[in-house]
Amino acid sequence: MSKILIIEDERSIAELERDYLESHGFTAEIEGRGDIGLQKALGGDYNLIILDLMLPKVDGFEICRQIRQVNNIPIIMISAKKEDIDKIRGLGLGADDYMIKPFSPSELVARVKAHLARYERLTGDKLIRGDLIQIRGVVIDKTSRRITIHDQEVMLTSKEYELLLLLASHPNRVFNKEELFERIWGLDSLGDIATITVHIRRLREKIEHDPSKPQYIETIWGVGYRFKI
Ligand code: CA
């Protein structure tokens, strides 16, 4: 079931959107504050974001920009002013669609369905849903912390698992070594950043068919690593 995040500070509009989406079989969650909405969008397992432009704390422009640095999840932007739509387009923020208030909720549902279908086509066999990530034969079950590669279970150390989970949770996003180190080992760790290289090598030996020609974890020279879709 597709899960949709509605970032909207006008409660009545947000509830109308949610009710319509839920009556069409979607799960929808409302967040009224921009800063919290951004955190949810970056960290949650949503399939689509409905994003109002004018929001408290952090506005829709900034939220859209930051989400796009991380992933390509469909974003439908909502605004009360037609001029804003031109501005959004002009900024090239990467929103997939725009709607102007007031709009018909059934039109919103139709567009949500269209964007979800398009996104599923684009991402092919990639699937991130709930506690399960499945990408080209790699399956990560977050509940049991179990990894299988083409149905063969692979045993990983705790750090190798966290590294794989972080990369695979954001397919195609490039992480630099500093960021990986910070997010997995923590800022207060006494470790060395070179440990990332060592862990990537061990991880590849366990999950790649040919570690010298990795199909999953790709090195982006001079930048870092990414999990390739
Ligand atoms: Ca608003």
For 168, which DSSP code?
A: H
Instruction: Report CA(53)–ligand 1 centroid distance (Å).
Output: 6
Taking the alpha carbons at both ends of the chain, their separation in whole angstroms is: 22
**Residue listed under structure tokens 């387009």:** 89
**Would you state the pLDDT for residue 189?**
62
Distance 8 CA to ligand 1 centre (A): 6
pTM of the model: 0.58
pLDDT at 90: 67
196-to-27, 97, 182 alpha-carbon distances in Å: 37, 38, 10
Written as six digits, the tokens of 119 are 């996104």
User: Ligand 1 mean position to 33 CA, how many Å?
Assistant: 9
Residue type, 135: I
- Give 85 Cα–ligand 1 centroid separation in angstroms: 14
The confidence score (pLDDT) of residue 30 equals 98
pLDDT at 197: 93
Can you tell me whether residue 112 is helix, strand or coil? helix
Ion ligand 1 — residues with CB under 5 Å? 9, 52, 54
Tokens 């996003």, located at residue: 173
CA distance 75 to 94: 8
Contact predicate 140/206, CB 8 Å: no
Distance 119 CA to ligand 1 centre (A): 26
Write down the pLDDT at residue 194.
Answer: 87
Cα(47) to centroid(ligand 1), Å: 22
The pLDDT of residue 53 is 94
Parts of the chain with a pLDDT under 70: 90, 121-130, 187-190
